[in-house]
Homo-oligomer: A and B are copies of this chain.
């Protein structure tokens, strides 16, 4: 059985202090799917685009063994567009434009071949839609979920209902503090795990990530990057690498979750090295493996005899 990914597909216009790209492939489902495709397949993508969505992007996804049966192409409709501008330190960005277009009335319909999927990654979309997806699945075994400040503040009740059914929640540090209403991350993590998810991953950007699973806390380092070209999609790429690796290995032990966090970090580190999805288009798996080894080296120390 494949891995089900639900989320947005977008055309992104992104400016950084170094360069600019227009109408590039973007969206949470896109990044999650491409990233996961390096570990296992097929990936069943459920999302929506307009008729203007370039054919080359369809081909790109298909070439990565992404099954597009569940991709709705709305006749005469326009694809979701997002535009943003990053500041000099790349940790701050301004959203210049958000045109939901066909995404505004997105109703995720899971095709029959994907309803049996055991592994699901719910990209960052309205928790009401994420819930609708879960309602159509037969017996999911691992539900990974992403969300953001916008939903935590605007659709808190719906999100809390959803979290009771989620196994792994992936959010960043400010989202964790907001969701738990608690400034201390460790206390916040405990509170969030009490809301439902057995496993919580807190992404901290250039400071790595924390995994909380059962009574285990695991601290994953960040890859030391001298140059970040475009941080767009890094979080989705992390979720894709994490879920893809778990799907490939079919091992949900805490030890394997740690490895999955590292593979998520590996994929995110590639993602930000180029604009848009470029770095995820022709990646050699050998490079993924090599960078995993770099992460091992980066954080390994031993007790003296």
CA distance in complex: A25, B42 (Å): 63
For residue A224, give the distance in angstroms from its CB to the closest CB of chain B: 5
**Known contacts being A207-B208, A219-B208, A296-B301, is A226 close to B186, with CB within 8 Å?**
yes
For residue A104, give the distance in angstroms from its CB to the closest CB of chain B: 37
**Is A187 at the interface (CB under 8 A from chain B)?**
yes
Within 8 A of B (CB), among A252-274: 255-256, 258-259, 262
CA distance in complex: A111, B89 (Å): 47
For residue A274, give the distance in angstroms from its CB to the closest CB of chain B: 17
Copies in the complex: 2
Cβ-neighbour of A186 out of B184, B221, B225 (below 8 A): B225
Query: Interface of chain A, helix or strand or loop or mixed?
Result: mixed
Contact B299 A219, beta carbon cutoff 8 Å: yes
Interfacial chain B residues near A298, Cβ < 8 Å: 217-219
Contact A301 B186, beta carbon cutoff 8 Å: no
CA distance in complex: A302, B207 (Å): 20
Within 8 A of B (CB), among A214-273: 217-222, 224-228, 249, 255-256, 258-259, 262
**Is A304 at the interface (CB under 8 A from chain B)?**
yes
For residue A167, give the distance in angstroms from its CB to the closest CB of chain B: 20
**Is A137 at the interface (CB under 8 A from chain B)?**
no
Contact B296 A303, beta carbon cutoff 8 Å: yes
**Is A38 at the interface (CB under 8 A from chain B)?**
no
